[in-house]
Structure 1
Amino acid sequence: MSSASQSRPWDVHRLPSVEGRTFLVTGGNAGIGYFVAEQLAATGAVVVIGCRDAVKADAAMASIRSRVPGAHVRHLRLDLADLSSLETAAQELDVDRLDAVVYNAGVALDDPPRRESRDGHELMFATNHLGHFALTQRLAALLCAAPAGRIVTVGSFAARSERLDLDDLQSTREYRPKRTYGRSKLAQMYFAFELDRRLRAAAGTVLSVVAHPGGALDSLTPSRPPVRVTTPGERLRALPAGILLQGKDAGARPVVRAVLDPHVQGGQLWGPRVFGLRGTPRREPVPPHMADPAVAARLWTASGELAGTDPHLGFR
C-alpha cells in the first residue's frame, strides 16, 4: 500500500488494494463470513473460503464473482469440529504464506439436547473455539512466513454478559444453548487476547486481533442469491430494528478493517461505532473480564489438553 493510502482516513467503501496477499476466512460461505470474503475479494487478494460443504462454498464463490469482477476466490474443505482433519486441511491450503486468517466459522444451536462433535466435545465449544485453537498450530508457519501475518478472531456482543465456567467448559452439568453459545464465543475472545500476549512475548511478527459485528440481522442484510435472499416483507418488518442494528454486510466491516488496516495492533478489539451495535468500525476498550490473564491461561491449558496441541501452537 502507498503512504497516501496509509494516511487516508479509513473508508469502508474504498478499501486498499492488497493484490498478492492471501486470506483464509473460516465459514466464509454464509452470514458475516460471506461478506468478509466478498469485501476482501474486492481488494485483489486471494480469498480462501473454509467450509465443510462444497455446494455452499460454490454458491458463495459464484455470488462473489458476480459482484467482484476478476475475484480470486477458492474453496478449502474445512471441518473445525473434526480435529483430526485439520492437518490435512492446512496442507491442502497449498500456499507459501498466509497473510491473514479470519476465525469466523461458528455453530449456534437454539434448542436442546446437547450435541457433541465426532471427537466427543460439545459441538458449539468444539467448532467455535476448540477447532480454531487447534487450527492455529497448523497455520503458524504460514502466518510467520508473511511479512505481517494476522489472526482476526470474530467475537460476539453476546460474550459481554457471559462468564466462563472453567470447571465446565463443555456444559456437561447444565446445558442451555444460548448461554453455551455465548461462552464459546467468550472462549474465542479470551484465546485471541492471550494469543496476543504470547506472540508479543515471543517477539514475532504475527498479530492477534478481535473484531465483532455488533447487532447484525439477516433481515437487514442485502440479498446475495443463491447464498441468501432477503424478502421485501422481511426488510419492511426490520425497519424499526435498523435504528440500533444493521445488516451482516455492515457487520463484516470491523472484521475487514482488522484484517487490512495497517494501523491496527495486536490485542485490540474492533466493533461498530454506535453503542457497539451498528455503524462504521472503531476500536473499542477490551471488557475487563476478557482481559483477565489468569482465566485466559487456564483456558489455554485446558484447550491444549483437549485439542492435543503443542503449548506454543507453533509460535516460538
Structure 2
Amino acid sequence: MTTAAEKTVLVTGGNAGIGYFVAEQLAGAGASVVLGSRSDAKAEAAMGAIRSRVPGARLRRVRMDLADLASIKSSVDALELDSLDAVVCNAGALLDGPRRQTADGHELTFATNHLGHFVLVRWLLPLLAAAPAGRVVTTGSFVGKSAQLDLADPQSARDYEPKRAYARSKLAQMLFGFELDRRLRAGGSTVASVVNHPGGALDSLTPSRPPVHVRTAGQRARSLPAGLVLQGKEAGARPAVRAVLDPAVTGGQLIGPRMFGLRGRPRIEPVRGQLADTTLAAQVWAASVDLTGVEPV
C-alpha cells in the first residue's frame, strides 16, 4: 500500500481557497503536491505560505487554465510524470456580473468548473492508471445537490445568473465523478473516482495564510455566530484530503462534513436524490463529450 509520503497529487486551483488548504494538508502528510494554477505568481506565493508551515514540503507548480480546453494536454505533458496517485479536481469560478464566454464559446463558469476537469481527467487517466491505486477526487458543493440542470441548456444561455450557474456546474461535476467511477469499474480499471464537498466553508471563518489569505480581527468577530453551523476553508478541505489519503475510501463514495453536511469532521455520506440518478449522470457525460470532443473513458 502506498503511504502518503510516496504519493504525488495534483491539486487544481491549489493556489487559493479550499485548494490551498488541500495542498497544505497533503504536504503536511508528506505527499508531493503539484499546484495547478493559471498564475505563476499566485502559485509561488501559495508554495511559500505552505513551506512556512510545512518545512521541507515537496511542492511544484504547473500552469493550468481549465477554461482553455486546448491547452490542458500541454499542462499534463508539462508534469513530466510517469504516474500520478491522485488529482483533486478543485479549481472553480464563481463570477459576478454578466454571462461571459471562453474563446471556445463556452460559458466561463461551466467551462472552468466542469468541462475543464472533464478534459483534464481524460489526459491524466494514463498516469493515474500507472499508479498502484490512482484516484480522481472531484470537489463539488453543498449547493450543487439542490441545483436544477437543464440538459437542453447546460450552460445557462437562457437564464444566466452567477450563483445559479455555479450551482449547476457543481452538480455537473459531482454527477461526472459518480459516472466516471461506474465507467472505470465497468472497464476493470484500478483507478477510483470519489466525490467530496466542503460543506459551508466561509472566508471569514478561515485562518490567515498570508499572503494567500488574511483574516482581520473584525472579520473573525463578526463570523463567530456563523461558526455554530458553518466552517472555514481549512476545515472544508478535509473531505478532499480524506478522499485522497484514506485507504478505506472506495470509488463512488461521497465525503462531506459530519454535521448536517455543513461542518465537522469528514464522513461518508449516502448518495441520494439527483446524485444517485444514473440516467441524468449519463446524460451529463454525453453532453460533456459533445461540448469538449473528448471522452475520458
| TM-score, normalized by the shorter chain, greater than 0.5 | yes
Amino acid at match of 1:96: D
What corresponds to 1:154 in structure 2?
139
Cα deviation, 1:163-189, whole Å, max 9, x if unaligned, reads 210000011111111111100000000
What corresponds to 1:38 in structure 2?
24
Please point out which of 66, 71, 84 is paired with 1:80: 66
Please point out which of 196, 207, 219 is paired with 1:222: 207
Amino acid at match of 2:150: D
User: Is residue 145 from structure 1 mapped to residue 145 from structure 2 by the alignment?
Assistant: no
**Equivalent residue of 1:279, what SS?**
strand
Q: Quick one: distance in 1 between partners of 2:180 and 2:90?
A: 16
What corresponds to 1:27 in structure 2?
13
Q: Which runs of 5+ in 2 are unaligned?
A: none
What corresponds to 1:179 in structure 2?
164
Cα deviation, 1:17-49, whole Å, max 9, x if unaligned, reads 521210000000000000000000012211000
**Equivalent residue of 1:19, what SS?**
helix
Please point out which of 104, 108, 115 is paired with 1:119: 104
Map 1:43-58 → 2, pairs under 5 A = 43-58=29-44
Cα deviation, 1:243-263, whole Å, max 9, x if unaligned, reads 001110011011100110000
**Equivalent residue of 1:86, what SS?**
helix
CA-based RMSD of the aligned residues comes to 1.0
Identify which range, 173-182 or 141-150, moves more after superposition: 173-182
Q: Quick one: distance in 1 between partners of 2:174 and 2:243?
A: 14
What corresponds to 1:212 in structure 2?
197
User: Is residue 130 from structure 1 mapped to residue 115 from structure 2 by the alignment?
Assistant: yes
Amino acid at match of 1:126: A
Q: Quick one: distance in 2 between partners of 1:37 and 1:307?
A: 28
Q: Quick one: distance in 2 between partners of 1:275 and 1:294?
A: 27
Amino acid at match of 1:50: G
User: Is residue 109 from structure 1 mapped to residue 95 from structure 2 by the alignment?
Assistant: yes
Q: Quick one: distance in 1 between partners of 2:285 and 2:120?
A: 14
Deviation at 1:298, TM superposition (A): 1.3
Deviation at 1:289, TM superposition (A): 1.1
Q: Quick one: distance in 2 between partners of 1:54 and 1:230?
A: 23
Q: Quick one: distance in 2 between partners of 1:299 and 1:270?
A: 21
Please point out which of 85, 97, 112 is paired with 1:99: 85
Deviation at 1:110, TM superposition (A): 3.0
What corresponds to 1:281 in structure 2?
266
Deviation at 1:205, TM superposition (A): 0.5
What corresponds to 1:272 in structure 2?
257
Deviation at 1:301, TM superposition (A): 1.0
What corresponds to 2:284 in structure 1?
299
Runs of 4+ in structure 1 over 6 Å off: none
TM-score normalised according to structure 1 size: 0.92
What corresponds to 1:235 in structure 2?
220
User: Is residue 263 from structure 1 mapped to residue 237 from structure 2 by the alignment?
Assistant: no
What corresponds to 1:8 in structure 2?
none
Deviation at 1:287, TM superposition (A): 2.2
Q: Quick one: distance in 1 between partners of 2:262 and 2:284?
A: 28
**Equivalent residue of 2:144, what SS?**
helix
What corresponds to 1:18 in structure 2?
4
Deviation at 1:109, TM superposition (A): 1.1
Cα deviation, 1:138-163, whole Å, max 9, x if unaligned, reads 10100000000000000100112212
What corresponds to 2:154 in structure 1?
169
Count how many residue pairs are aligned between Structure 1 and Structure 2. 297
Q: Quick one: distance in 2 between partners of 1:173 and 1:245?
A: 33
Amino acid at match of 1:123: L
Q: Quick one: distance in 2 between partners of 1:233 and 1:290?
A: 38
Amino acid at match of 1:47: V
TM-score normalised according to structure 2 size: 0.98
**Equivalent residue of 1:24, what SS?**
strand
What corresponds to 2:52 in structure 1?
66
Amino acid at match of 2:13: G
